[in-house]
A and B are shown apart, each in its own frame.
Chain A
Amino acid sequence: DAGVIQSPRHEVTEMGQEVTLRCKPISGHDYLFWYRQTMMRGLELLIYFNNNVPIDDSGMPEDRFSAKMPNASFSTLKIQPSEPRDSAVYFCASSLWGRAVGQPQHFGDGTRLSIL
C-alpha cells in the first residue's frame, strides 16, 4: 500500500516567494496533520484536518501560513511570503482514528524547505 506522499522533497527559493507544499494521505484515512521540524523546536504540529475540515490551526505560526484540504486525497500548505526563518522540514501525516484509544499517525518523508 502507498504511504503518505509529499512533494516536492526539496524546495529552495528566495525570500518573498510563495511556497506550496503538497500531501496525499493514505487512502481511507480521515485525519491529516501538518508538522514542522526544526533544530530549535523539534516536531511541532501546525494544523490538522478531520474529513477535510480544519479542526485546530493553533500551531500555524503566522498569517503567512495557510493550509487547505479540498478533498480526501490532497492537502496543501502554503507560505506567502516566505522568510528565511521558515526554513525547516515539513511533514504531513495521516491517521485513521476510529476508537477512543488512538491509532498511530503515519508520516510522509517530508519536504526540506530552504528560504534564501
Chain B
Amino acid sequence: DQQVKQNSPSLSVQEGRISILNCDYTNSMFDYFLWYKKYPAEGPTFLISISSIKDKNEDGRFTVFLNKSAKHLSLHIVPSQPGDSAVYFCAASPSYNSGGSNYKLTFGKGTLLTVNP
C-alpha cells in the first residue's frame, strides 16, 4: 500500500504561470515532509521541507502548504520557468519520537512537470 501518493503522473504549464503539485499521505505518524526535484540521469535534489507544526513554508519561488487534517500537501512554484521542468517527488517521515525508524523517508512516485516556453 502506498503511504505517499502523487496522483498526477504529469503536469504541463506555461512559463510564468503557477505550477501546483499535489501529494497525499495516509500515515498519521508522518510529521515531516520534503519535496525533491530530479533531472534525468541525476539524483534527487532537496528542494523544500515542512514540519507538521507549520502549515506553510516559503523559499523564493517555492512554497509548500500542509493540510494535516486532510493529510495533503502541495508545492507551488511561482512563476514557473522552463528550468523547473523535472520530476518532483514528495517524501515523508514519522516523528522523531514515534518510536519507529524515524529516519526513513517514504517517497511518492513523482510528478513530471513540464514548463513550456
Contact = CB atoms under 8 A, between A and B. Distances in A.
Interface string A42-55: 11110010100001
Interface stretch (B19-27, B36-44, B66-74): B36-44
A104 interface: yes
Nearest to A10: B41
B108 A105 contact: no
Contact of A91 (B43, B46, B51): B43
B7 interface: no
A101 B96 contact: yes
Interface string A96-111: 0100111011111110
A73 to B, nearest CB: 18
B32 interface: yes
A42 B104 contact: no
Interface residues of B, number: 25
A31 interface: yes
Interface in B2-53: 32, 34, 36, 41-46, 49, 51
Interface string B89-111: 10001001100011111111110
B104 A109 contact: no
Interface centre among A43, A55, A106, A107 (most CB of B within 10 A): A43
Given A45-B105, A104-B49, A4 B96 contact: no
A14 interface: no
Contacts of A18: none
A91 B44 contact: yes
A44 B108 CA distance: 10
A107 B45 contact: yes
B43 to A, nearest CB: 3
A102 B107 contact: no
For the complex of A and B, the 7 pairs showing the least CB-CB separation, nearest first, are A107-B43, A104-B46, A42-B109, A43-B107, A100-B96, A56-B101, A109-B43
10 contacts: A43-B44, A44-B107, A45-B105, A50-B103, A56-B104, A91-B43, A101-B96, A102-B103, A105-B46, A107-B43
Given A31-B103, A45-B104, A100-B96, 6 more contacts: A56-B104, A101-B51, A101-B96, A107-B43, A108-B43, A110-B43
